Structure 1
């Protein structure tokens, strides 16, 4: 389902589910190119749109970017974590260096979304909010397809138990009881849980990709409409930057172009 492509000898990933859209999950080899440089690789002539990501759940269209006053002072980029197209030939981009880059498409309308979903954005249900916006004026959630790109894998992503509970709250079978240890134990006992035990007290391992998948499935997206890249940014330094590994602010970009 995931394929390596090359441009001028440089590798990037595509997902078969998104074969009808020009898209790519780009690697560290493309640094320091930015979305303006990368868009022509996917679709010459498409307009380019990006954000200043802030680990929230605000999603904007290019038109909404033009009208917002919530901007980064230095660059003028809008402060948000999701982009949604409203017409053809719009390329939307997100950056990641362990967080989940999620590309979403609507087969009926041809519109797409690019979402930056770290643990904070995931706890705020940013991916499901993007799907809901893509469904405005559309017929069926069966037209939604989702590709979750390379991100840090759950087996190496250690977080506090409080963070683990906050992120998994939306997919927990029962409301939090107020007993942190009991709530964590309940989540660990789930079949194919997004939480894994950790040897250090007060810590767990968190699979953020799995949480996003479960949130989307709870919304009604069929599992066959969701693809998760089998690549970990932390464990594959030859292809990906990882903030957790390197403690440097370096990113790879992921983008998709509306039909």
Structure 2
């Protein structure tokens, strides 16, 4: 059976949170009213046609930890989820880090990864791909979407940090719009995935710092979090 893959990324609009989290904050760890976050997550579940119990959230810690899941809820201390269960949506929350949504529609295996600087350099995306293969995926059939994130032109870091990340994740090092050392994590992740044999890689061009419709920790801290979701629908 071949599955239809669904990928969704939210914006700031459509929720009930008040400033500085206005309005559709999906992060429950940023200081927002828990009732508002719960209401926003419920709205999201309804909007995508799934129940609240069909979404899997993570308590993200910038690790390289991957969890294989088969039911909804929240997984502690992890930054990557893998499942083979149809209509179970895997969620990543971000406000500059890279949401990585991966799928093998033929095998029916999906993954969602929170790839910040630390996790990306530690190899969390490669680890997620390996876990997908263990679950039955074929690298040649995997497609990937790299969602909205801070762009290299706006991600300034000290020179030693740029060099360190480049060594771990080649292709990440860049120059910012001001000519200073910077990182383009999406470029590094895409380069890593190509090296692992993945060919179907799409990149959402939006920069979270530049696009005021998106949350950005670097621009607005404190602020809310976007959610990027992936799930499978059985083919009719």
TM above 0.5, yes or no, is yes
Q: Which residue of 1 aligns with 2:12?
A: 28
> What is the distance in 1 between the residues matched to 2:81 and 2:87?
14
- Partner-residue secondary structure (3-state), 1:129: helix
CA 1:137–1:81 in structure 2 vs 1: closer, same or farther (change >3 Å)?
closer
TM-score by length of 2: 0.79
Equivalences for residues 135-174 of structure 1 within 5 A: 135-138=133-136, 140-172=138-170
Q: If you compute each CA radius of gyration, which structure gives the higher value, 1 or 2?
A: 1
Is the contact between residue 82 and residue 111 of structure 2 (CA under 8 Å) also seen in structure 1? yes
2:135 & 2:58 partners in 1: Cα distance? 25
Inter-partner Cα distance in structure 2 for 1:36 and 1:23: 18
What residue in structure 1 maps to residue 122 of structure 2? 124
8 A Cα contact 1:35 1:50, kept in partner: no
CA contact (8 A) 1:170 1:215 kept: no
Root-mean-square deviation over aligned CA pairs: 2.5
The answer on whether the counterparts of 1:194 and 1:206 sit within 8 Å (CA) in structure 2 is yes
Return the offset for 1:213. 0.5
In the other structure, the counterpart of 1:134 is: 132
Q: How does 1:1-259 map to 2 (within 5 A)?
A: 20-30=4-14, 31-32=24-25, 34-45=40-51, 47-63=54-70, 77-138=75-136, 140-172=138-170, 193-197=171-175, 204-222=181-199, 225-237=200-212, 239-259=213-233
User: What are the ranges of 5 or more consecutive residues in structure 1 without an aligned counterpart?
Assistant: 1-18, 67-75, 173-192
Specify every segment of 5 or more residues in structure 2 that has no aligned partner in the other structure, as ranges: 15-23, 26-36
SS of the equivalent of 1:248 reads: coil
In the TM superposition, what whole-angstrom CA distance separates every residue of 1:79-124 from its partner, at most 9, and x where no partner exists? Answer: 1111111322211101000000111001222221111101111101
How many residue pairs match? The answer is 208
Distance 1:233 1:198, change over 3 A: closer
TM-score scaled by length of structure 1: 0.73
